[in-house]
Amino acid sequence: MTGYLFVPRRNGFPMSRPPNPEVRFRLLSAGYDVVLDQGFHGCGVQNITAAASVPKGSFYNYFESKEAFATEILDAYWQNIEDRYTPFLRDAETAPLERIAYFFRAISDDHAVTDFRHGCLIGNLALELSSASEKTRVRLKSILGRWEEYLATCLREAQKRGDLAKKRDVKQLASIIIEAYEGAVMRCKVERTRRACDQFEKVALPLLLA
Q: Where are the domains of the chain?
A: 10-63, 66-209
pLDDT at 132: 87
pLDDT band, very low/low/confident/very high, at 195 (cuts 50, 70, 90): very high
The residue-averaged pLDDT of 30-59 equals 92
CATH architecture of 66-209: Orthogonal Bundle (1.10)
Distance (Å, whole) CA 125 – CA 39: 8
Q: Over the stretch 73-103, which tens digit does the pLDDT of each residue have?
A: 999 999 999 999 999 999 999 999 999 999 9
Indicate the residue type of 134: E
Q: Over the stretch 133-167, which tens digit does the pLDDT of each residue have?
A: 899 999 999 999 999 999 999 999 999 999 999 99
Distance (Å, whole) CA 80 – CA 99: 18
pLDDT at 9: 56
Q: Could you tell me the fold of the domain covering 10-63? A: Arc Repressor Mutant, subunit A (1.10.10)
Indicate the residue type of 86: T
